[in-house]
């Protein structure tokens, strides 16, 4: 069996085990509520939103519904992967794994792919269901290109959070620290980021009273490049018309590449130096 095939089997077994774990069963209703639930809500023909910002296309509806990925999808990724290494460290199994001849970078890929696939597959299924719901309810069907970008962007943001959680899990000596680190990071990027952006904007003399102010929008768009959720939204915005937040499509793609490569590099480096 080739090394690649062995990695595939290992990742498949890990992903399967995580996908049918108790925590996934607990997360599933939340994912259902946040992903297809939001799509159903935003596709309502009688939808009332502040400032009459009603979605005019299926892509815009899905953009609004992407908040479900930001809140529930990323949280699920963190919960699935937060003990990916620390659990084995506590039980002593990590020592056995680290003594195996499979190179650690390969073991790292297995860990990432296994954990990521366990959340990516259900979320993809729910996204496809969401697209169907939006089309069914509003009679607006998302173009194939937009659908692909939508799903790929969601997969990427889940990958980033999975790698953060595994990195935290590899650093933490016990599970409490691992979950505190992972949830803390999720909290920062998901809930505190607006506060952080507003604070920076105020310090830079940008008007923060009006969130529709173009100066603020451009500042916020640039600061969002420092957040995985922000980059995720920049990717989605590449398919929307009339969005001007100071970041070009090229900028969004470059940030995507960096957000993918840098955490992966740090995780692999960490794994190479890992001691039980």
In angstroms, what is the minimal distance from the CB of 111 to another protein? 12
Residue 275 engages another protein in binding (rule: CB under 8 A): yes
Coil/strand/helix, residue 122: helix
Rounded distance between C-alpha atoms, residue 248 and residue 238, angstroms: 8
Of the residues 13, 152, 195, 249, which one makes contact with another protein according to CB under 8 A: 13
Residue 184 engages another protein in binding (rule: CB under 8 A): no
In angstroms, what is the minimal distance from the CB of 258 to another protein? 23
Residue with tokens 């939103």: 49
Task: Locate all alpha helices (DSSP H) within the chain, ordered by sequence.
Answer: 3-19, 22-34, 36-42, 58-65, 67-68, 74-81, 86-91, 93-98, 104-138, 144-171, 175-187, 193-203, 214-223, 228-237, 249-272
Nearer to another protein, 57 or 169 (CB): 169
Nearer to another protein, 56 or 95 (CB): 95
Nearer to another protein, 132 or 266 (CB): 266
Per rule CB under 8 A, count of chain residues that contact another protein: 23
Query: Any residues with CB less than 8 A from the CB of 75 and at least 6 apart, and which?
Result: 27, 30, 186, 190
Here's the x/- map for another protein, 86-115, by CB under 8 A: it reads as ----xxxx-xxxxxxxxx---x--------
Rounded distance between C-alpha atoms, residue 162 and residue 232, angstroms: 15
Site for another protein in 20-59 (CB under 8 A): none
Residue 6 engages another protein in binding (rule: CB under 8 A): yes
Rounded distance between C-alpha atoms, residue 173 and residue 171, angstroms: 6
Nearer to another protein, 257 or 275 (CB): 275
**CA 260 to chain centroid:** 11
Residue 268 engages another protein in binding (rule: CB under 8 A): no
In angstroms, what is the minimal distance from the CB of 102 to another protein? 5
In angstroms, what is the minimal distance from the CB of 264 to another protein? 21
In angstroms, what is the minimal distance from the CB of 181 to another protein? 14
Full DSSP string of 167-226: HHHHH-SSHHHHHHHHHHHHHIIIIIHHHHHHHHHHHTT---S-TT-HHHHHHHHHHGGG
Site for another protein in 245-264 (CB under 8 A): none
Rounded distance between C-alpha atoms, residue 182 and residue 179, angstroms: 5
In angstroms, what is the minimal distance from the CB of 99 to another protein? 4
Listed residue (36, 40, 114) closest to 77, CA to CA:
114
In angstroms, what is the minimal distance from the CB of 140 to another protein? 44
Q: For binding to another protein (CB under 8 A), which residues are involved?
A: 1, 3, 6, 9-10, 13, 17, 90-93, 95-103, 107, 275-276
């Amino acid at each position: 069996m080739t090394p690649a095939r062995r990695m595939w089997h290992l990742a498949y077994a890990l992903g399967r085990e995580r996908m049918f774990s108790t925590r996934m069963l607990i997360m599933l209703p939340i994912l259902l509520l946040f992903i297809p639930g939001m799509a159903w809500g935003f596709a309502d023909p009688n939808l009332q939103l502040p400032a009459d910002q009603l979605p005019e296309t299926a892509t815009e509806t899905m953009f609004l519904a992407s908040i479900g990925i930001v809140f529930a999808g990323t949280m699920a990724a963190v919960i699935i992967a937060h003990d990916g290494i620390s659990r084995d460290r506590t039980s002593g199994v990590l020592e056995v794994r680290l003594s195996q001849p499979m190179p650690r970078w390969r073991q790292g890929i297995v860990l990432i792919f296994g954990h990521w696939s366990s959340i990516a597959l259900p979320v993809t299924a729910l996204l496809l269901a969401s697209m169907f719901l939006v089309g069914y309810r509003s009679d607006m069907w998302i173009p194939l290109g937009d659908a692909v970008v939508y799903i790929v962007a969601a997969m990427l943001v889940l990958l980033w959070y999975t790698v953060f959680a595994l990195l935290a899990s590899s650093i933490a000596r016990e599970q409490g620290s691992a979950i505190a680190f992972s949830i803390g990071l999720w909290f920062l990027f998901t809930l505190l980021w607006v506060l952080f952006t507003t604070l920076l904007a105020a310090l830079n003399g940008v008007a923060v009273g009006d969130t529709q102010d173009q100066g603020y929008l451009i500042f916020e768009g640039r600061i969002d490049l420092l957040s995985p959720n922000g980059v995720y939204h920049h990717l989605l915005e590449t398919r929307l018309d009339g969005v001007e937040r100071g970041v070009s499509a090229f900028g969004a793609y470059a940030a995507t590449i960096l957000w993918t490569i840098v955490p992966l590099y740090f995780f692999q480096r960490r794994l190479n130096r890992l001691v039980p």
